[in-house]
Amino acid sequence: MTSEIRRTFYPLIRSADPARTLAWLEKAFGFEPVNVHEDDEGTIVHAEMRYDTGLIMFGAAATAKAAVYVAIDDPDAHHDRAKAAAPRSSAI
């Protein structure tokens, strides 16, 4: 068994001011920047921050939004398994 942490779920945040979000997460909670990518105007388009073993990703958007990014080894097999398990009714 390996002690390597395998992350598969990543919270995603879209912020109207990602630089301010980054500074706040760092100051308020002790998150550490891992990767910060800016466009030609200096706006953060993608950032990753770590707290303990957790990692969040965020970037710029006109309005705040949130989602979850799921990383899997075999997307086709994952899709096929989900499709096979789907109920026959569209009542979900």
User: Per residue in 17-62, pLDDT tens?
Assistant: 999 999 999 999 999 999 999 999 999 999 999 998 889 999 988 8
Res 6: pLDDT: 72
Residues with Cβ within 8 Å of residue 45, at least 6 apart in sequence: 18, 37, 38, 39, 59, 60
End-to-end CA distance of the chain: give it in Å, rounded.
Answer: 38
What DSSP string describes 66-77? EEEEE--S-HHH
- For position 66, what pLDDT does the model report? 85
With CA atoms as reference, report the closest residue to 48 among 32, 60, 62: 32
To the question of pTM greater than 0.75 for the whole model, the response is no
CA torsion, points 3, 9, 15, 19, in degrees to nearest 10?
A: 10
> Tens digit of pLDDT for each residue in 75-90?
888 888 888 887 765 5
Confidence at residue 2, expressed as pLDDT on a 0 to 100 scale: 58
Q: Does 7 score more than 80 pLDDT?
A: no
Side chain identity, residue 1: M
